[in-house]
Every structure is written in C-alpha cells, then in structure tokens.
Structure 1
Amino acid sequence: MALNECQSGYRMKYTLWALICVAALLQQGCSEQTAVPATEPAEQATPSTSEKPERVEAKPQKSAPTQLASELVPKLRPETTEATAEQPFRPLSEAAQLITLKRGQTVSALLSRQGFSSREIATLALALKSVVPLNKLQAGSVLALDQVDGQKQISLAGEYAERVDATLEGDTWRVTKSYVPTRTEIAEHAVTISHSLYGDAANAGVPGDVINSALLALSHFIDFQRQVYEGNRFEVVFERTLVTADEALFAHQQTPLQPTYLRFKNSEDDLRLYRFADSFYLEDGRLAESFLLKTPLNGARLSSHYGQRKHPLLGYTRMHKGIDFSAPAGTPIMAAGNATVKRADWYGSYGNAVVLQHDDGYETLYAHLKGFAPGIQPGVKVAQGQIIGFLGNTGLSQARHLHYEVYQHGKSVNPLALKKLSTVRLDGELLAQFDAYVSGLEARTLRLSRLASGDSSVYSAREATAESR
C-alpha cells in the first residue's frame, strides 16, 4: 500500500513538473513578429561534388526546451486532443471577447489574466502544437474567447481564412478547423515611371509583394538596370482575397495577393503577360519564363537579391551568389528545368541541398532544405516543375527560406538576369481556352491602358466576370 501511494505521488509530481516545463516553454515563446532575413552559405563558392560528406537525414531543428516539451507529450496526451477535424463555418457569437497579444507579452500571461489556469494553458499548448504553436504567435495576434454550449472556447487564425477553435471539454481540448467565407477583390493600377518601377508603383499604392512578383515575371524580358527609363509605362491587375466574417482574427495577417495581368511598355517593347493555369503566358500562348525557372516555388516572397551585401550571420560584406525566397517551412521546391540530379545531401553551410545539372553547362543549387522529395538522388532525371525537396532552415541559415543559385560553366549567374526563354507553349484545348480568356479581358485591359499615371480602380470578382461576358 505504501508503495502504491509512493508511485501515485511520484506520478502526480512528474505530471506537475511536466506542466511547469510546458508553461515555461510558453513563457519564453516569441510574441513579436520575426523578420525573415536573407542568408547565404559561409564558405561555398561554386557547387562541387568533389567532397562526399555523410548524408544527414533532414529533421526540423528544435531547441532543447522544445524537445523536452515534446518528450512530455505522451504523459499528457490522454488529457488533450491533437486530431483536428474540419467543421462547417459558424461565425463567432456577439458575446465573444477579443484579446490581443501585445509586444513582449506571452500567450500564457495573456490567458492567465482571463482566468485560465496554468494546467488549462499548458494542455491547450499541447493540443495546438501541431496546428498553431502558441509560442510562435506574433505580436498583434487576436484570440477570441467564447462560450459554446456552456464550454470554454478559444478561437484564433491558422492560415489566412482558416479559423482554429479549441473547446475545453472537461480536461480535454477538442481542436477543430473551419474555413471563413471570402470574397475576391480585383485592383488595377497604371504607373508612368519617373524614378524606378518599384518606387513609383509603391507610391501609386501597389502592394510590395505584387511589385516583387511583377519584377520577377518581367525580368525574363527586361533588364531593370539598363532598360527602364523615365516615361515607361507599367500596368498591373491583381486579386486580393478578403475574409467576410471574423475579420478581427485575421487583421494581423497579410491578405493573399495574386497578380493576374502585367504590362510593361518602353520604346522597344510592349509586353503583356497573362496569368493562366498558375503561370504567366505571352499573348501567343508561350510560357513567359526562361528555360530555367527564376522562382522554383509557389507563393514565395523575394527576400534577398543577387550581389554584394552584409551577411546577417557573419557580419561582413560579401558576394551573395544567389537569390533568397521566404515561404513557410515545408513549401515544395521545384526543379528549375529539365535536369539530372548531381547531388542531394548535406552540403556544409548550405545544409541539405540539391544540385541539378542542366543542358548548355548550366547548374542550379537549392539550399537550406528541410528534406528531399522521395527518389531524389544522384543520377536521377527530373522534369521542370518536379518537386525535389522542401523549404527549410538547415545549414548556415538564420531563418527558413530557399537559397537559389545558378551557374553556367562554373560561373555564378544572376537568376533574374537570364534571358533564355522557355520553349514551352500551350496547344490544343488549353491554347483555345487561353485565347478565349485573353479575348474576354480585352475591354478591361483597354480601359486600364487609358488610366492616367497613378490612377487605379477596384471592383469585385463578380463584376469582373459579368464584364467579361
């Protein structure tokens, strides 16, 4: 009997200790938005396969406290629910209380002030750890506190337009997701360049992410260092996705933006690019890209350019021989062109990296990967657009991103300066659909061409559809 009491007391102490450790993890969580600085390898020049380092399995990086908390999960799992079911959307009630995470504040402190116990907060963190890690919430994040059928409920934003609800059922948090209704807003801007495309477009109200996407697409044709002059014309149409309910939960997030039409006109060219089937095409149905993709991943933000810059980790100025893209960890990375895999392993300060050998002496390198796609190994042939790995934060990297380099005959090349166009072209039924799509936009693009510099218009996707008919 005394032995059983001793064991029971030990289990209680261990559980309390586990909860204290999880609470401590929440206390040290970063509540401020973390910038995503661009990084590059420390000592790598051109890709080489002369060294054969031991292959390292790609694993998410964890700090010691995070590993400790994950080890404690099995002890607490009977009192938490990790399965996240999808539920029909139901707006927050009018009685829901909205609370905001302030700069320097922890989620634990925020919820404690609302009457939640340390145990409830710790088990909530465990229930949400694979959905929305509470210690990673940014300053400005909003949580909604509500009562649903007499039970406490905490709601917060997951991805944009995705609401995550945690409902306390006894000692267990039940986690569900629902998708908030959205509407699509279309904006069009006309800009006459006086100083720079980026600066003039920003002054005209074009979002930075849209400008970056436009620069990446147009750079297949335009050298922005030598071919842009005062008086050149830039036009852009982009879509913005907006939630139509529970707006406060998503106010701190960037609304998804998608450029759909681009035009750049100078004394030599009048380029018109149309987004179709997730890529830009010229009016004749040719893919508006180089034979090597400049952006070998979708939904990314260009976070660092090619050229001299101060290294964020090493602290001194050096050549940045590639470009960096910021995107969520795990984002699929695509082969920039048809190629043979030269290496796919741990590559020193590059971390997990893939090197592809293309025609005409070209090589591309993809660094800091979380891991590799199945079957990606030396000697394997891959097609343009095929997934070869997943974005991560390995090697000499300060934050999750893709570092992308291009070489020709061993010499570093600016990926954005490549002018060799793809030979891919739409045909058959797809070409017919594209031609019909372009024809349906004629009235809108004509109206846009008549806008004065700095002018813009915004309308709903429903209005745009009616106009195209």
Structure 2
Amino acid sequence: MAQFDPRRQPMRFAPHLLTAVAAVSVAMLAGRVYQPAQAEVVPELTPQQMASLEARAFESAGTPAGLTAPEAIPVQIRRGETFEQAVRRTGIGAAEASAVAATLSNAFDLSQMRAGLRFETAISHPRGGRGDARLIGLTMRTGPASQLTVSRSFDGALRLRALEERVNHETMVVSANVEGSLTATAQRMGADAAIRRKANQLFGHRFDLDRDIRAADEFTLVFDRSVTENGRTIDTGDLLYAELKGAVFYRFQRPGAREAEYFDATGKSMRSSMMRTPLDRATRISSSFGFRVHPISGYRKMHQGIDFAAGTGTPVVAPADGVVVEARRWGGYGNWLRVRHANGLESGYGHLSRYGSGIRAGQRVSQGQVIAYVGSTGASTGPHLHYELWRNGQRINPGSIRVEDNVQLAGSDLAAFRAEKSRIDRIIASGGERRPAVMRASVEGLRPATATTTRS
C-alpha cells in the first residue's frame, strides 16, 4: 500500500484536460488524426452534359406507371394537316394532342406551320394494350442551332423548354495531300459539297482533274463556316482561297461588281475563257477523240467527242458563259444539250439523265453553272458523259482548245485586292480564325407567337 508523503505536491487533473486527452485517444484509436472538413468543388457542366442528364432523367422518371418504355416516332406534317392532326398520328388521344399544341403555342404560332415540317416524338403505350398512347417527349428544331422540347415533369405535367446552342463563325484552313481523289480528300477534311464543287471548278481552269492530279499532290482550301458547340456544321460560307500544284486562287469582289471573282497572287483573273472539263469533279476519260471501234455497232468509226466515265446524277457544268441552243431528245445521244459560246464555239452533251433547273432553249448560262446531270440515255452501254466541241460549225477535239485568261486588276481595284490578299494570307499563317457569336434564326414555316416563351 502506497504511503502518504507530505513532502510531495498532490497531482490534480482539470476536467477539460481529461476531455481533451479522451478526444485525442479516440482519434488515435480510430487510426486517424483530425483534419478540418473541406467542401468538394463540383466541376461546371457543359450544355451538352446538362442536356444528356435531363434526357436520362426524363427517360427514367417521365414514364408513368402502367406504360411501356418510350418509343421514338418521327412525324412530318402533311399537306392540309394541322399540328394536332399530325401529332395524333402517333396514337395519342385528342385531349393529349390539344394539350401538347397549347404548350408549344406559348413559343410559336402553330397555325403557320407548313407541310413538310419534321419533328421527333417519344410515345408510350398502355401495357395492357387498351387506351390511347401518351406523349412523353417532343423535340422540334426551330432554327439551325435552336429547338423546342416538350417533356413530362415528375408530376406528369407538360414542360416546355427552349434550347439554343452557341454558334461560332470560323474561317477554316484545310491542307492535305490527295488520297484517292481530290474531292474525297476534301470531304474527309470537312469541306462540304458547295466548297468542293467550287474548288473543282477553279482547279478545272488549270488542270485536267483526271490526268493532272496525282496522289500526294498537296492542296489548301480556306473557307468560312458556322459550327455549333458540339462541332455540327450548320452553314458554310464562301471559298476564300484555293491552292493546288502552285496554282493559287484568291476570292475578291471588285467594288461595284455583282459577283466575286478569283485572282492569282498578282491580281490576274483566274477565270479562263473555257474550262478544260465540263464536270464538277474528277472523272476518268473512257474514250478519247478520234477513231475507235464503236462499243455497240462494232464498226470502226470516228468518235467526235470525249467520253467521261461518271455515275448517274453527276453534275455537268457550263465550261464557259453562253446561251442554250438545244435541250431535247436526239437519237442515239439520248437527252441532248447544246450551248453556244463566244468566238464561234459551241459545246454539246449527250446521254444526260436530266437537265439543270431552268435549262431550256434561249436560257443564258454562266461558267461553272450546273446545266445537266450525267446519265445513260440513248445508245449507251452505261452511265457516262459524251462531250463535244464545235468551232464555226466544225467538230474539234475538246482537248485541243486553247485556254485564255481574262482581266488584270489595276489602280484602286488592285490596291483593294492586295488588302484582301493580305488578310487571307494572315488567316492562313495563323491556321484559321474564330469569331464567337450566337445565332437566332427560325425554320421556314414557324413564326414566333405573341406569348412569351417559357424557358426552364
């Protein structure tokens, strides 16, 4: 038994000290040391991520009990049909269709919708197979980068949303080596049909796109486009610059001129008097000008034109400005077209599938304009274009035509061109240009309603 010693000071423990020791002991026993709590930073969601989360939420929670999973049903308004009639073809009842129409009418005047307008619906059906279907969601594009959606909230009510993507205006610089064909390579690099067609027209002034272009030849295209945040191209502007095998084309519109033209680096017009080929894309020459064994008759005879192997529907363009002389059926030529040009030249086109819009005798056409489409009408073994040239009424070899250049800019026109050329050169050097903007446009056939749009 411990003896009491009066010389020693007794030890006393304060209650708060005991509490602190106990807290430290508990923490140590738990294997952790106390750390201050910190709030986790939640990353901001992009509009695409928010839209995806909303879609999944409504898909999982928007379907009422007793109904099947929503089925996507596209709808197109027919001639003489109202919006309610169109949406009822999905299987929903009259009251439901009326409620959907009333919801959408807060944003657009549905009475002005025209035939041909398309929209998407999500429809659920009763599990027992009896009764009307029910609309779970509806999406209607109202502009290149905007749309309206109607969906069911968690309590079953219809909810209207107006969604709008941000649109950026860009100037693209595309450089690549030809792989396969110039047209196919340009398409893979993001150039749309209009840009590819214009590039082929320009290059067609200087090259035979079938025989002069080889794999690994480098080309560059510079063009404007409008693209949404998720990378969807909604509009393509002008081709500002094109380069192939040392030939360069700068777009420039002279003050007071009705249309833009293309010039080389010195300001000399790149618009030749006659394009080398009348097709807007590279094709193979399947039969040249001269004597040959006719593929149908089997006799050796003079082939008074050039045949281009091309698929049905390939656009045929006017190689020079002119006036249509004939657009009719003509024996073995099938659908035939003849155009009169300057300097006593005329061009002819055989085996066409159809003519271009508005093409008829007496119609004026401009260089590069689509005047017809390749086919296999008349005495033909397959789709191709038979192309002929006359000079002063005599057939000549189209490959022998001499191509001449036109105007050389001077004075104030040349100064303005040099300024535009410098701007394009800066864009090429920087690899492109981007100008953010928000596009607000409505689809034809939709008019805004007087009521205020409900955004949520």
| TM-score in terms of structure 1 length | 0.43
User: Whose helix fraction is larger, Structure 1's or Structure 2's?
Assistant: 1
Q: Which has the higher contact order (CA 8 A, sep 6+)?
A: 1
| TM-score in terms of structure 2 length | 0.44
Q: Which has the larger radius of gyration?
A: 2
